[in-house]
Chains A and B, each alone.
Chain A
Amino acid sequence: DAGVTQSPTHLIKTRGQQVTLRCSPKSGHDTVSWYQQALGQGPQFIFQYYEEEERQRGNFPDRFSGHQFPNYSSELNVNALLLGDSALYLCASSHLLDEQFFGPGTRLTVL
């Protein structure tokens, strides 16, 4: 049973560019959440998708957007990248009220 998978593993972009990160949830899970983890900090909630709609959103600007597909996989898009967007981006999946399972993350570096 594959767990949560994310791609790519690492990514380097320059300021002002746009980036798309991808996540496939654990089998049987229908809810996907995204978190940003800056170096040395705890993860911060970005948003959560369920039934292809954004269900909850954290305190992140509109430059951060997402999408969930019918197969429950998800994308995180970040526009107009800033140096401060450099972080580990974690995807987590869940089903109903069960706990979230995390993927290994995508390390984004903005130069």
Chain B
Amino acid sequence: GNSVTQMEGPVTLSEEAFLTINCTYTATGYPSLFWYVQYPGEGLQLLLKATKADDKGSNKGFEATYRKETTSFHLEKGSVQVSDSAVYFCALSDRGGSEKLVFGKGMKLTVNP
């Protein structure tokens, strides 16, 4: 079945540091890929998505590129802020975003001033 493996934390960075969170997947067919973020005490929010190979999703300074050849969807941000402290989940679904989502275990990021 489909699965997602992501870098696990926790990770602590200083403000303005570069962030990379690795994510690789196993799936049949051509899944859609997502990054969700969960702030303390809240539900999940969609951060960005990509629906086909070589697509780049971007939002709030975060970027991720759908790499079919390496089955990866790594999340990057050039300069993190304290407000980026949260748990980040990589996920996939078989079709669009309305089909069931398969999540990685999540990575907790703390950004210190």
Contacts and interface: CB of A to CB of B under 8 A. Distances in A.
Interface of A: 4, 31, 33, 35, 40-45, 48, 56, 58, 90, 92, 94-105
A104 B43 contact: yes
B42 A104 contact: yes
A89 to B, nearest CB: 10
B41 to A, nearest CB: 8
Contacts of A99: 34, 46, 49, 96-98
Given A41-B106, A42-B89, A102-B44, A94 B97 contact: yes
Interface residues of B, number: 23
Most buried by A among B89, B91, B97: B97
A94 B102 CA distance: 16
A48 B45 CA distance: 19
A5 to B, nearest CB: 10
A48 B91 CA distance: 17
A35 B91 CA distance: 13
A103 B103 CA distance: 16
Nearest to A6: B43
B105 A43 contact: no
B68 interface: no
Interface in B69-113: 89, 91, 95-106
Contacts of B42: 104
Contact of B105 (A35, A41, A48): A41
Interface string B16-55: 0000000000000000001010000011111001000000
Nearest to B104: A42
